[in-house]
Structures are given as C-alpha cells and as structure tokens.
C-alpha cells in the first residue's frame, strides 16, 4: 500500500511564471504521515526536433498556488491529516513517488514520457497509485492516448458518468456538465479501470477539456465564479477520497 507522503531531495530549478515572473520550486519535504500534494514534472515537448514548440506548455502550470489551496480544502472539510504548507514534485521514474497514493499531472496533451518514466508510471499505477490528468483540451487527446498506450497497452480510456463510484466518494456529484475555464468547451471525464472493469479499481481520472487546478489556483482572487470554483474543488476532493479509500 502506498504511503501518504515522501522524502524528497531539493529540486533546484527555475521556470518562467504564468505572468512573466520567475517561479521557484521549493525543496521536497520529508515524509511525516500526512497527505502531501504530489505533482509530476517532465521534460518540455519536442516537435520535429524543435524544443518548446509551445512556450507555455509546462508541467508546473498553477504551481504553487493550486498545490497549496487544494490541501487547505482537504484539511477543512475532511478528516484526512493533511500538509498544507508544502508540496512535492517528482518525475515518474523517481522511486520516492511510490510513497504518494495520489499524483497530479497537467498539460497531459504535450506529455512525452521517457521509457524509464513509462515504466515508472506503470509500476506506480499497478501498485496502488492514482493519477489525476488535467489541463488539456482539443487536439491534445490523440497524444495522450498514444502515451498511455505505452504505459498500459491493454487498457483503454472509458468515458465516465455520474454513476461511476468516484463521483460519490465524498460529494454526491450528479452532473458532469462542466466547461473549460478558458475555451468554454464542454468537459469530458474519462477513466482507466483495472482490467477495463468498471467494477474494479479506477487507476486514473482524466479531465479532458478542463483545467480544475486553474480554478484552485485563483480561488482566493475571484477570477472565476464561486460556483464554478466550488465544483472544481468537489471533483478534486472526490478524486482524493476515492483514491485513499480504494
């Protein structure tokens, strides 16, 4: 069974922030038994040998604000012992990731894992891990499916409905009528079930045409309507509670 946090080495890196300013990646915090937000990092995309085809494609979108805001919600409304002052960052082939039951990966449409990362994700999911894929839309789907086929070739994404148990893990979510915060596209929710069996364990949830961490990031700024932000938090809470109780 996977643990709830991880001992991590400092990640000494800088990235250009969403609004032009630098973003500093804080050092990973030691394991202490509390739920700690885990974010997946990966190399920038390459298109035809030109690195960085889209300069805004980053694994760190919404970091660190979403990574701090979401655990605060978990602490306030559940009995899960939660770390709110820090979060950790891992590559998929980092063995320390195994101490985390839930991980978050954004910009999944431009994600190109190495062979080692493919093997790392496969091991993580099959040993009890759960991944939230988020922040991708439109034509990004084809690449995502190709990469996941490398990870688990026998599984295929299944379109989720409110009847899937993940949507009744904490909140009783009866409608999946969401839209992307930027593009206004109707969201789709997909899942990867062990053995392609809806009665089995859900290994990953896929927020397509959506970006729930965008709502989390700006939930203290009033950029988005309160109702939409609350609904984004409800999804995240259900994902986490489901993953920790299955």
Give pLDDT, residue 51: 40
pTM (2 decimals)?
0.88
**Residue 243 has which token pair?**
């993953």
pLDDT attached to residue 46 = 62
Mean pLDDT of the residues in the chain = 88
In the numeric block, which tokens belong to residue 104?
């978050």
Q: Flag whether pLDDT at 238 surpasses 80.
A: yes
Q: What are the pLDDT digits (tens) for 182-198?
A: 899 999 999 999 999 99
* CATH class name, domain 14-245: alpha beta
Between 10 and 128, whose confidence is greater? 128
List, for residues 165-178, the tens digit of each pLDDT value. 999 999 999 999 99
Q: With a cut of 50, say whether residue 52 has pLDDT above it.
A: no
User: Which of 31 and 64 is assigned the larger pLDDT?
Assistant: 64
**What pLDDT is attached to residue 7?**
27
Instruction: Evaluate whether 162 touches 176 at the Cβ level (below 8 Å).
Output: yes
DSSP 8-state assignment for residue 31? P
Within a 10 A sphere around the Cβ of 14, how many other Cβ atoms? 9
For the ranges 1-15, 41-55, 221-235, the lowest mean pLDDT is seen at 1-15
Rounded alpha-carbon distances, angstroms, from residue 134 to 14, 32, 131:
22, 27, 10
pLDDT of residue 193: 98
What pLDDT is attached to residue 68?
97
Residue 17 has pLDDT above 90, yes or no: no
Residue 135 backbone class (left: φ over 0; alpha: ψ -120 to 50; beta: rest): left
Residue ranges per domain, the chain?
Answer: 14-245
Between β-strands 102-106 and 88-90, what pairing exists: parallel, antiparallel or unpaired? unpaired
At residue 35, the 3 state secondary structure works out as: strand
């Amino acid at each position: 069974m996977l643990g709830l946090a991880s001992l991590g080495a400092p990640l000494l890196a800088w990235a250009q922030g969403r609004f032009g300013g630098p973003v500093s990646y804080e050092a990973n915090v030691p394991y202490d038994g509390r739920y700690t937000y885990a974010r997946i990092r990966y190399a920038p995309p390459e298109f035809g040998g030109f690195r960085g085809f889209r300069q805004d494609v980053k694994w760190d979108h919404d970091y660190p604000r979403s990574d701090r805001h979401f655990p605060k919600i978990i602490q306030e409304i559940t009995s899960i012992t939660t770390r709110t002052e820090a979060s950790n960052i891992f590559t998929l082939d980092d063995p320390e990731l195994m101490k985390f039951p839930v991980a978050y990966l954004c910009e999944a449409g431009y994600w190109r894992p190495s062979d080692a990362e493919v093997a790392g994700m496969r091991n993580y999911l099959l040993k009890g891990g759960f991944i939230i894929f988020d922040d991708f839309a439109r034509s990004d789907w084809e690449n995502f499916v190709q990469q996941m086929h490398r990870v688990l070739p026998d599984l295929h994404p299944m379109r989720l409905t409110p009847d899937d148990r993940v949507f009744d893990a904490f909140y009783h979510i009866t409608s999946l009528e969401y839209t992307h915060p930027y593009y206004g596209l109707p969201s789709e929710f997909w899942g990867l079930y062990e053995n392609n069996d809806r009665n089995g364990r859900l290994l990953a949830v896929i927020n397509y045409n959506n970006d729930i961490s965008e709502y989390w990031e700006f939930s203290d700024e009033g950029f988005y309507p309160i109702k939409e932000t609350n609904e984004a938090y409800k999804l995240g809470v259900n994902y986490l509670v489901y993953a920790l109780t299955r």
